[in-house]
Amino acid sequence: MEPWLFWIIIAAVFAVGEILSLSLFLAPFAGGALVAALVDGVGGGLGLSLAAFLVASTALLLALRPVARHHLRSPGHTRTGTARLVGATATVLDAGTVKLEGETWSARPYDEDSELEPGTKVTVMEIQGATALVAE
């Protein structure tokens, strides 16, 4: 078997492992194996292709791993529309309205037993239609 073909097979094994794990850990090694196959294909020999594999894999790992970690730690989705208002702070204008992000919203207490006093800072607990349900 040609040595460059061996590197292609190794790259495929790493790529399949990456597809199954989705960790972005094996992908740099697949890239390194492809670089080694290229080096060996142009006549670099085993020593040079092994060095190319190590250097390329290390460089790709150092470049891609921080990006992968950032994406793994970021929230799954960004809240938009009225969902982004949940948890926001509003100011009670009168018994039935609040000032929320510069806009006047109809509001009612989240707890039916409480009252909205003008000037009170409240937290939006839920949005139902065009009405903010708020609590102190």
pLDDT in tens, 55-110: 999 999 999 888 878 877 777 667 777 788 898 899 999 888 999 888 899 998 98
Q: Are residues 69 and 85 in the same domain?
A: no
Contact between residue 123 and residue 134 where contact means Cβ atoms under 8 Å apart: yes
Q: Are residues 10 and 67 in the same domain?
A: yes
DSSP states of 103-132: EEEEEEESSTT----TT-EEEEEEEETTEE
Q: Are residues 67 and 85 in the same domain?
A: no
Q: What is the 3-state secondary structure (H, E, C) of 30-56?
A: HHHHHHHHHHHHCCCHHHHHHHHHHHH
Q: Are residues 20 and 69 in the same domain?
A: yes
**Among 52, 73, 94, where does a domain finish?**
73
Domain CATH code at residue 125:
2.40.50.140
Predicted local distance difference test score (pLDDT) of residue 111: 84
Which pLDDT tens digit goes with each residue over 37-67? 999 999 988 999 999 999 999 999 999 888 8
Domain encompassing residue 68: 3-73
Q: Are residues 131 and 90 in the same domain?
A: yes
Q: Are residues 89 and 69 in the same domain?
A: no
Look at the chain and report how many structural domains it folds into: 2
Q: Are residues 61 and 113 in the same domain?
A: no
Backbone angles phi, psi at 77, to 5 degrees: -150, 160
Q: Are residues 37 and 54 in the same domain?
A: yes
Q: Are residues 66 and 90 in the same domain?
A: no
Predicted local distance difference test score (pLDDT) of residue 90: 92
Q: Are residues 18 and 68 in the same domain?
A: yes
The more confidently predicted of residues 77 and 111 is 111
Predicted local distance difference test score (pLDDT) of residue 77: 67
Predicted local distance difference test score (pLDDT) of residue 130: 86
pTM for the full predicted model: 0.54
Predicted local distance difference test score (pLDDT) of residue 70: 81
Predicted local distance difference test score (pLDDT) of residue 14: 96
Predicted local distance difference test score (pLDDT) of residue 136: 83
Q: Are residues 56 and 92 in the same domain?
A: no
- Helix, strand and coil percent figures for the chain, each rounded to 5: 50, 20, 30
Q: Are residues 103 and 42 in the same domain?
A: no
